[in-house]
Structure formats: C-alpha cells, structure tokens
Structure 1
Amino acid sequence: MTFTQDFTAVANSLGWTALVATVPILYFFWALAIKKMKGYMAGLTTLILAILVAVIAFKVPVITALASASQGAVYGIIPIGWIIITSVFLYNLTVKTGHFEVIRSSVLSITPDRRIQALLIAFSFGAFLEGAAGFGAPVAISAALLVGLGFKPLQAAGLCLIANTAPVAFGAIGVPITVMEGITGIPAIEISKMVGRQLPILAVFIPLVLVVIMVGFKKALEVLPAILVSGFSFAITQFLSSNYLGAELPDILSSLVSLIALTIFLRFWQPKTIYRFKDDVQVSEIKQTHYTGGQVLTAWSPFIVLTFFISAWGIPTFKKALVGTYDGGNAILNFVNSIGSALTFYPEVPFLHNVVIDGATGKEIAAVYKLELLGAAGTAILFAAIISKFILKISWGNWVKTFFATLNEIKFPLLTICCVVGYAYVANTAGMMATLGLVLAKTGALFPFFSPILGWIGVVVTGSDTSSNVLFAKLQQVTSESVGMDPVLALAANTGGGVTGKMISPQTLAVAAAAVGLAGKESELLKFAFKYSLILLLAICIITFLQSTVLTWMIP
C-alpha cells in the first residue's frame, strides 16, 4: 500500500492545508514558552500531535506515520544523541580529573574579562567545532566550557546558541552547501560564493551582539577593539575562503584566524575596566596558581585530540572509508574501509521504504535507518575520550563510571531529541513542510524577501541546515526562476535563513540544555533566543531582497 503526498489535503486548499501543517510546531513553542512543559514532555506530546495531524488531516496510514517517527527517533540517537553523549562525557572527564581548573586558569591568563572569554569560547572555538563536526558538538562543548569557567548555565547556553549563527552554513566541512549541488545541478562553489557574500555581513556583528546581550551596549563599547578584531577577522576570512576555496574550509579557517588574531591582540591590549561576574570570588586565587606549560598542555589535550579526530572524520576520502564506501588504493584507508563497512548498516524502514510517493515529483521516497556507527561524529569524540583516558591518567573503572553517569545526566534530553526528530520525519512524510514551502512560493515579486523564511522554517523543524537545504533546494530553484530571481541567490537565502533558525530548533535547544545541566528547562532557552532569531532572520530577508533588486552586482 502506498501513500501519495497531497499538498491540498485539507478542504482541497493549499492555504488551509498549510495552516494545519503549522499546528504541531506552534504547539511545541506554546508548550515550552507559555505552558513551560519540560522538554521531553513537550517533545513527546508534539510527536503524538504530529502523528494525529498526519493521519487525520493528511491521510497518512497510521503504520506509515509510526514508521516515520521511528526513523526519526533512530536518527535522534545516531548521530545526534551520540554526539551529545560523547561531548558531555569528554568534558566530564576533564572535570573528574581536576584538569578543568587548569583549562580555566589558562583562559583567564589570556584575559580575566568575561566579555572577551565569551568571544574566544562561544564565537571562535564554537565556530571551529561547527566547521569540523557540526550537529550538536559546537553548542554542547563550548557551552560546557563556559559553564566550567563560571558562566551561568542559561547564559552560557544562550550565548553559544547565538554565536553558532555565524558558522552553521559551512558546518561539518561544508555539507549544507555541497549537498545542494546534487539536488539542483548548480555548482557548490557558486552557492558558496553567494553565501560568502551574505553571512559575513552578519558575522561582523555577532560578537557585538553577544557582548551586548551579556552586559549592555555601554559596557560592550569598553571592549569594542576586541569585538572588532574578533568579528572582522572572522568575516573577512569567511568571505575570502568561501569565494576562492569553496564550502569546505570557511569555518575552520575563519575560526582559527579569529581565535589567533584575538589572542595576539590581547597581548598588546586589555580593557581598562575588567568585567567580572558578581560571584567571581575565586578569580584572584585562580590567577595566583601557577601551572607549567606541560600542565596546561595536558589539560587542553582532550580538546586538542578531539580537534584532530573530528577534523579527520570530516575529510571526504576518510569519511568514505569510515562508512565503507572507499574504493581507492591506499592500504590504510582500505583497512579502515573494511571496519567501516562492517559497522555501517542501512536497513529499510518497514512500512515506509518506497511507500511514500513525493507529491511534487511522483517518485517513491526511499527510507532507511542510517546507522553509520564508525562514521558518526560522536564516535570520533569517543576515540578522543579513549585517548584522553591515558593522558589524564584516569582508571578504566572511573572512566566507565563517568560515562554511565553522563548517560544518566542527559537521559531526558536524549528522549526530547528523539521525539522532536521523530516529529520532523513525520512532518516530511506527510508533506507538511512542502506545503508550507509552496505557500511562500506564491509570494511572487516579494519572494526574494520571503525566500530565507523557508530555510528558517526548515531548520526550526528539522534542526539541521543540511536537512533544510535538502528539503527546499529544488523548490527554491524552481520558484526563483519563475519570478525572475537568480537561483544561486535563492539557495544562499535558504541556507542563510536556516542558520538564524538553528538557535530555536527543538533539537538544538535540547542539546544546549543537556550540555549545561538545564534538562527540562528548554523553555528558558527558547525565551532567551527567540527574539534574536527573528531579528537575524529579518536581516537576512532584507539583505536577500536588496541583493535581488539594487545590489545585484553582489551575485556571482
């Protein structure tokens, strides 16, 4: 039995069908922001509601809807949940062994000013992790680091969510952009160039936004030189690398240049007034503690090793070997390929594989459980944790004990993630997302302004800029051509709009909450980030509209 997506399933009307399609996501935000439900309860009830809407309004067979939810739940565990487990575990190892105090001291030795610490960790280091690993790793690790440095959990998570706006489009070695080439036929380098002529405009201001959120505009001006160094070094490098090197390296290069430039700058300049938190009673004691270079290196080693592994996992050729698809002549990669092949599984989803007919193309949609056990980014982090076991000199008993303590610590956020990803898959199966896209596509001459909103919706629901681009790339291309908009600009707009939705995606909120010990308080994070998401989305909408009308010279 097959199911064909119907984009006018409700009252034979696209408008009414789109309105019904928004019900689950509107309910989720209501449940978190107004009802203040715990994250896992909001996620679970949203999933149930989505299944009911799919079955009743969109006429999806019950067994198909349930199968789709199971596919999403599995994806919520591998790779997303696995990243969170291993990221928090690695951080917990440094705390357990006392080495995080050394890390804390080394950051304070660069600057004791809390505003600049946020720039170094949330903006620069977080962007590096986004470029190397993507998914939840940047927010999970950088937020945990800030909490360890003394930032309040809500503040740390919120700052990292907003800082993550700048690098998301080029995350995971450029996958969100490169994936669109196969869907649209437009070269990834052309899309990369266009994205590199939009996002750097935002990236310049993100450091200022972070500090203003922390301390207000007046105190932000006290560290304006550091803000300018951080923002401009990142933005300029992002523009140059995206336009001349491609989509794979902008995040890696931009974050490293920003981190190094700010660190060097701080050797010659420090703010006249050092900003500290009111309860920073131990700062003077920490500064007086002298650690040798070897001690500092040992303490940072888990994250240095982490950087090595997640960078290696992102190399395209090595990635192929990790999932068993390498076919070259390198002996080492062939060995890895044999292991990767044994640990990679793509079982078909019962009652879903080739059951759903795409309402736009008329083609069957394949559905498999994607289990890349070795190729998952979380496995790279696990290897870093294994190596760190020997560096930090912790016994296997305590290492295992810490791992299970971590699992217990984040069990409810993991449930939240499985539920919200399950909802995203049900929404896609039913055709809810495509219906919303078709409504926005009817805006005609104003489509360039509304184009980024498609990307924003896609990321809010799916939690992934890559997934949003897969979902809407073809629609953006076809619609833009019909209204006279350059399709390269439309694809960049989808990605740019998507990055502004990342901070309020249910998946991302759950990841951030889990990393800083705020499980069940996702509503507070949503309240913190929601207005900034809309403000940044509006900025992308305006930039895109201007580039399609009066700034057409910016289109490659």
Structure 2
Amino acid sequence: MQAWQHLYDPFNNIYLSALVATIPVIFFFLALTVLRLKGHIAGAITLLLSIAIAIFAFAMPVKMALLSAVHGFIYGLWPIAWIIIGAVFLYKLTVKSGQFDIIRDSIVYITDDKRLQVLLIGFCFGGFLEGAAGFGAPVAITAALLAGLGFNPVYAAGLCLIANTAPVAFGALGIPITVAGSVSGIEANSIGAMTSRQLCLLAAFVPLWIVFIMDGIKGVKETLPATLVTGISFAVVQYITAHYISYQLAGITSALISMLCLTMLLKVWQPKTNQSLQINGGGTASISHSTDEKKPLNYSFQQILLAWSPFIILTIMVSVWTLKTIKDALSVFSLQFIFDGIQIMKAAPVATGAKDDFIKNIFILDIVAATGTAIFIAAIISVFILKVKPKLALCTLWDTLKELKWSIFSIGMVLAFAFVTNNSGMSVTMALVLAGTGIAFPFFSPFLGWLGVFLTGSDTSANALFSSLQANTANQLDLSSTLMVAANSSGGVTGKMISPQSIAVACAATNQVGKESDLFRFTVKHSLFFAVIVGVINLVICYVTPWMIYS
C-alpha cells in the first residue's frame, strides 16, 4: 500500500486550516462546559466530527481514518482502562474487607484537616505514584482514597487532578523526558534538568493553590507552614535529582521527601483551626472549622500495616514493573499487531527525512509487562493478605467491571478521537499556528505541550508529537532548542487535568460516571491558569534570565 502524506494546510491558509482542525476540540470543550453532555456521548460525537474533518477537509483516506479510530479505541482499553480496573478493584477490596476504616483513621490521626489530607494523599502520595507508574493510576488511587475519607467524589477527583500537575513531566520513571530526547535529538539529561528549572516555581506553588481552592486566603494563612514545607521540599528535591542524580528518579524522590517532610511537620505542628467535612442531610457535605483535638488512634502498628498493605504492595509492584531491566524481560510475552492499512508519512516542516517520518501504528498487547497487570497482581496478593473470601473477591471484581463499563467506553472514544486527530495531521496544523508566533513563541511554546496532552492524555505522547517541531522552530528563531523542548513537557503537565482521558479515569475511579462535564468545568480554569504561568516562566527565562538555560 502506498503511504499517504500529511496535508497540513488544505485551505492554503494555515489559520483557516487550523480553525477547521480545532472544530472537534472546540466542540468537546462546549459539550462538557455548556451542553454538559456525559463523557461517552461527548466523546462519541467528537470522534465522528474528527473523522469527518479528517476525511473531507484533510483528505485522509477513509480506511486510514476508520482504522486510526479503531486503533485508538483499542489502546484506550489496553493499557489505559486495564490500569483503572486494577486500581479500582484494589481500592474496593480494602473497603469490602473493612480495612479502609483503619486506613481512614490512620490518616485522620496524622491530620484531620481536610486541606492537609489533600496535600498528603493527592499531592505527595499521588506524586509518588506518578513518578513510579503514571498513566492514570495516581489519580485513580488518590481520588478514591479521598472520596473514602468523606470528600465529595467529583471534588476529590478535581483536587487530585490539579495536585497531579507537579510530577507529570517526570512520570513513570521519566519516560516523557526520555521520549523528548529521542525525538528531538537533544540529550535527555539536559531536557530533564531544564524542565526541572521551569517547573520548580510551579511545583512549589501547587500546594498553596490547592489550599486556596479549598479555603481561600484564610486557609492559605492557616496552613502556610505545611504548604511551604510540602511545595518547597518537592521543588528542591526534584531540582537536585534531575541535575545531579537521575531525571528518571526525580518524580519519585521529590514526592517521597515531600511526604516525609510534611508528616514530620504534622507531628509537631497542626493548624489552630482544622477544616473538616460535615455530612448533611441527603448526603451532601459542607466545610466547617473547629479547634477540637484529634482522637487517639485505637489500632496497633500491625493492624495499620495490614490495612495499608494493599497500597504498599501496589507501590512495590509498580516500582519494580517500571524498572527497565524488568520491563524488558517481561516484554518478551508481549504481542504486536500492525495496522497494515495505516501507512502515513509526515510532511514538511515536521518531516526530517528520516525513517521516523513514518507514523508507527502498532498495537502492543503487553499482557504481563503492562502497569495495569502489576496493579492487578497487587490486588490478587491483597486478597490473600486481607483474607478476603474468593467469592467476595470475584463479586467485587464483577461489580468493578459493571461500574466502569461506561467509563471504559468513554476512554476508548477519547483515545480514538486523539488517534484520528494525530494521524490525520490536524494536531500538527494547530501546532504550526502556535509555532508561527515569532518573538512571542517562548510564551506559546508550552501551549504546544498543553495541546498535545489534552489530545492524548499523556506528556509522553505530547513530547513524541511536538518535540521535533519545538526544536526546529527554536533553531529557526535562534532560540534555545533545549529550552523549548523542555517547555513542551512543562506545558504538557498543565493539560493533564483537562485531558478527556484523565477526566474519564477520575470519574471512573470515584464512581461518578456521567459527571465528566462537572469535573471538566472544575479543572479547566486551573489548567489554563497554570499554562499561562509556565508560558510566562519560559518567556522570562528566554529573554530576561537566559543564564538559567541549561547547557
């Protein structure tokens, strides 16, 4: 079959072409914010729109457009949905076994302040899971934990998505940075170090912003020691690790040290007034402040260790599973399926004349090596450790699958939309408009990453899409290519919280299927605000403090 080459400007006007390419994205925004459609309905209509525009506007062969959608849908099922099934199953086992009551009480014993619980679980523990595993597992686990602590599920999911911003660039042992290096031809260590310089300020700011969302300026003042310790320790350790140890470990070390510092602080200091949740009639929750002393913890160390054992096992499993030697060894059991009907070649100015100009359309069924498998094995081990009866475990798994059916469909739809958008070249058309902003490009550069993560749900995929474009544009404008490629990853982290994939995952984990529009409206303003912050940081580094550029 002859390869089809991308057509980035079908209307001979890049702005008009980009506007047409943006129609599915605009519709998806409106579907969730104005029309308030359910996620799977919004995703399905957006997919149909993207297929129609790819075929009739961008001249994509019908067969390739349809196969791209099929490929994306299957990818949504494996490995993405598989991760969510394992994570929710594990959480439900702790609830069914009665151990979650002990988990909840042990967290409350550290702090019964809801603001600090979000920092401890959503920011620190979620950051560690992102650094070790990524791909949706962190938000699924932490949002479920917060919902179990009494948070409104949609509110918990939104806070966890925002908290997940800081570690995304170094997620899954630094895979986004590794991919950025391989695509752009720039040393990955340099990109990792530069990314840490861009994200230090944002990482230190996120805990303050989370508390501000929850309790305004008054809450920020009351919890200032905790937010500063959490954010600054995270930022400093991320910087040191990325520069002097290994960017692959930057997500893990920063989250662990931040969690340790916050926990140690809470042993000697607590806010004078605690923010707590009070359940009202009808199951709604309201915020209240009190000065009550926390209750003693009436469990032994062994009981607490047993209750937390599923998450300890989860942490060990995903950490081991993502080690390169282990992953390579397990990959021998993987199966590859090539979509022969999809032969697509990039065009100028994205094409470089290399073999990488051909878009790879290979589906890998990594049954053993998948992160979801590690999580599922952790859940099976937990069945035995928690002494859950086999019948109850099977019923719990079946209930999990039934609850997640529409969420899994939603994830499949949005991934199908992403694959069509990327394979048709529409995503590059949108990116070329941003790349043509000239002297203002350093500000808009992170928005390329933001767009890429919104479309794909992955900072890794966004770097694969646009790192080469970032480097080429930087060279044409006589700017630092290392700075702009790093900005792609830094900007990408701000798009994770509104990615349709992330929204579907968070709703699935908190049993809020159909509430995707509520969650999207909650996170979108924070996503845009963070993206602007990263844009300003990149602009300042480029023109005001160029000595900060890593070389």
Who is 2:361 aligned against? 367
Question: Could you give the per-residue CA deviations for residues 208-261 of structure 1, whole angstroms, max 9, x where no partner exists?
Answer: 111111111112211111111111111110111111122211111011101111
Question: Quick check: 1:133–1:171 contact (8 Å CA) kept in 2?
Answer: yes
Partner Cα separation in structure 2 for residue 22 and residue 304 of structure 1? 43
Question: Quick check: 1:463–1:508 contact (8 Å CA) kept in 2?
Answer: yes
Who is 2:496 aligned against? 502
Who is 2:40 aligned against? 40
Residue 285 (structure 1) shift: 13
Who is 2:345 aligned against? 357
Residue 2 (structure 1) shift: 3.3
Residue 289 (structure 1) shift: 6.1
1:89-128, aligned counterparts within 5 Å?
A: 89-128=89-128
Q: Match for 2:304 among 257, 277, 296?
A: 296
**Which 5+ residue runs of structure 2 have no aligned equivalent?**
280-284
Partner Cα separation in structure 1 for residue 338 and residue 293 of structure 2? 58
Who is 2:399 aligned against? 405
1:83-162, aligned counterparts within 5 Å?
A: 83-162=83-162
Q: Match for 2:516 among 494, 513, 522?
A: 522
Moved over 3 A (4+): 283-289
SS at match of 1:512: helix
Residue 465 (structure 1) shift: 0.4
Residue 152 (structure 1) shift: 0.9
Partner Cα separation in structure 2 for residue 391 and residue 489 of structure 1? 48
Who is 1:322 aligned against? 330
**Which amino acid counterpart does residue 172 of structure 1 have in structure 2?**
A
Question: Quick check: 2:115–2:275 contact (8 Å CA) kept in 1?
Answer: yes
Residue 364 (structure 1) shift: 3.3
Q: Match for 2:313 among 305, 308, 311?
A: 305
Question: Could you give the per-residue CA deviations for residues 9-41 of structure 1, whole angstroms, max 9, x where no partner exists?
Answer: 1x2222211111101111111111111111000
Partner Cα separation in structure 1 for residue 258 and residue 268 of structure 2? 16
Q: Match for 1:424 among 418, 422, 425?
A: 418
SS at match of 2:197: coil
Residue 278 (structure 1) shift: 2.5
Partner Cα separation in structure 2 for residue 533 and residue 262 of structure 1? 25
**Which amino acid counterpart does residue 27 of structure 1 have in structure 2?**
F
SS at match of 1:369: strand
* TM-score (structure 1 length as normaliser): 0.94
Question: Could you give the per-residue CA deviations for residues 504-553 of structure 1, whole angstroms, max 9, x where no partner exists?
Answer: 01000001111111111111111111111111100100000111111111
Matched, 1:480 2:474: yes
Partner Cα separation in structure 1 for residue 494 and residue 359 of structure 2? 29
> Equivalent pairs: percent with the same residue?
49
Who is 2:282 aligned against? none
Question: Could you give the per-residue CA deviations for residues 394-444 of structure 1, whole angstroms, max 9, x where no partner exists?
Answer: 111111111111010111111011000001100111100111111111111
Partner Cα separation in structure 2 for residue 288 and residue 402 of structure 1? 32
Who is 2:431 aligned against? 437
Partner Cα separation in structure 2 for residue 210 and residue 286 of structure 1? 23
Partner Cα separation in structure 2 for residue 286 and residue 152 of structure 1? 22
Structure 1 residues 351 and 286, CA gap change in structure 2 (3 angstroms) = farther
Question: Quick check: 1:140–1:512 contact (8 Å CA) kept in 2?
Answer: yes
**Which amino acid counterpart does residue 295 of structure 1 have in structure 2?**
Q
Matched, 1:346 2:347: no
Question: Quick check: 1:197–1:239 contact (8 Å CA) kept in 2?
Answer: yes
Who is 2:230 aligned against? 230
**Which amino acid counterpart does residue 314 of structure 1 have in structure 2?**
T
Structure 1 residues 359 and 235, CA gap change in structure 2 (3 angstroms) = same
Structure 1 residues 413 and 454, CA gap change in structure 2 (3 angstroms) = same
**Which amino acid counterpart does residue 165 of structure 2 have in structure 1?**
T
Partner Cα separation in structure 1 for residue 297 and residue 121 of structure 2? 22
Partner Cα separation in structure 2 for residue 479 and residue 259 of structure 1? 39
**Which amino acid counterpart does residue 387 of structure 2 have in structure 1?**
K
Matched, 1:535 2:523: no
Question: Could you give the per-residue CA deviations for residues 182-215 of structure 1, whole angstroms, max 9, x where no partner exists?
Answer: 2122111100110110111101110011111111
**Which amino acid counterpart does residue 323 of structure 1 have in structure 2?**
S
Partner Cα separation in structure 2 for residue 455 and residue 180 of structure 1? 11
RMSD over aligned Cα atoms: 1.6
Aligned residues: 535
Partner Cα separation in structure 1 for residue 296 and residue 325 of structure 2? 47
Structure 1 residues 42 and 285, CA gap change in structure 2 (3 angstroms) = farther
Question: Could you give the per-residue CA deviations for residues 272-293 of structure 1, whole angstroms, max 9, x where no partner exists?
Answer: 1121113289x99994561111
Matched, 1:462 2:450: no
Question: Quick check: 1:67–1:350 contact (8 Å CA) kept in 2?
Answer: no
Partner Cα separation in structure 1 for residue 52 and residue 93 of structure 2? 43
* TM-score (structure 2 length as normaliser): 0.95
Partner Cα separation in structure 2 for residue 184 and residue 285 of structure 1? 55
Question: Could you give the per-residue CA deviations for residues 367-407 of structure 1, whole angstroms, max 9, x where no partner exists?
Answer: 11121111111000011001101111011111111111101
Who is 1:75 aligned against? 75
Of residues 297-306 and 53-62 in structure 1, the stretch that sits farther from structure 2 once superposed is: 53-62
Question: Quick check: 2:109–2:297 contact (8 Å CA) kept in 1?
Answer: no
